[in-house]
Amino acid sequence: METNAAALIGQAIRQCRTERGLTQEQLSDKAGITYQYLSDIENGKKNFTLDVGESVARELGMAFDTLVELAYSGRKPLPKVQPQYFIPGAPLPPGLTQEHLALVLNETHKVVRLINATLIRAAGRALPAYIQGNNFSGIVSNILTDSFSRLSPFKHNHDQRYPDLICHGIRGAANVGLEVKTTVQLGKGGESHNGHPGWHVIACFAVDATSGDIKFIHVMFADLTGHTASQPDWKYVGSSENADTGSRRTETYNTTPVGTAKLRHGTAYLDTSVINISRWRTRKDCPAPSYSPFRPR
């Protein structure tokens, strides 16, 4: 059992044991392990095999799968975005509302939770343990895009081309596009393989090291000009080669300082309980609108 998963399940074991009025000595005797081993499991100090997990769960009156479900669902609230952190007046793509955005972000939290619970149950490791950080962000981006498609007027672009989503069924907003990116890097600007114009969303999230849960903490929207414009919001940066592996990244565009400023001023959600933007900077030649959290107060 992978360390972080074991710690979370250990907490569930302790809670289930106390709810049933069992001491550590009683449960360890029934499960055929030592008192000290059980104590270490409950405190997240030791990994344990699936056989041990199944034995302990059986003596608690449940299947090991049920214990995992309790550890990842019933014992820890699902992350949710908080209404007070939405920015009043922040512009969103035509057809999209803050209500849509809240549903989409929370649905993505939920899907990632379900994936992690399934992986833990099957192999003892959450999703972030299997893949590198940038690939994990790519999966979160795909899940977020799908949540938009299911819970907002912005639907998958089935041509598999830019943009990721296109608005349908809203008068005055038909065919408005939205390109979706996610990242764990706070304050990061946009990154694109094409530098096209249009609406972009950059959704920054935090990862819980124990459960693999994610929580969105900063979401930015901007209608950016393309790289062929006279004053583009994108700059071509080419591709770079990894000196150790010899592999080469895909050709890439990054937002210019002005493009990044547009995104920051377009902040729609900012969790100020974990993010302090007082030292962040934006370009002086990109004035902060009235709704921007970067506007001097």
* Shared-domain flag, residues 227 and 112: yes
* d(C-alpha 151, C-alpha 160), whole Å: 20
Clarify whether residues 193 and 234 are in a common domain.
yes
Among candidate residues 57, 74, 91, the one where a domain is terminated: 74
276 in a structural domain: no
**Domain shared by 87 and 139, yes or no:** yes
Q: What is the largest CA-CA distance in the chain?
A: 75
**Lookup: tokens for 25:** 């000595």
Domain boundary among 74, 107, 130: 74
* Domain count within the chain: 2
pLDDT of 73 reads: 63
Along the 297 residues of the chain, how does pLDDT read in single tens digits?
A: 555 678 888 988 998 998 888 999 999 999 999 999 999 999 988 888 889 999 999 999 998 888 887 887 655 678 999 999 999 999 999 999 999 999 999 999 999 988 887 887 777 778 888 887 778 999 999 999 999 999 999 999 976 678 999 998 777 777 899 999 999 999 888 888 889 999 999 999 999 877 789 999 999 999 999 999 999 999 998 876 666 666 656 668 999 999 999 999 999 999 999 999 988 888 888 889 999 998 876
CATH number at residue 171: 3.40.600
197-200 contact pairs (CB < 8 A, 24+)? 197/223, 197/224, 197/225, 197/226, 197/229, 198/162, 198/163, 198/223, 198/224, 198/226, 199/93, 199/163, 199/223, 199/224, 200/224, 200/263
- Domain, as residue range, for 38: 3-74
Q: What is the pLDDT of residue 247?
A: 66
Q: Could you tell me the pTM of the whole model?
A: 0.76
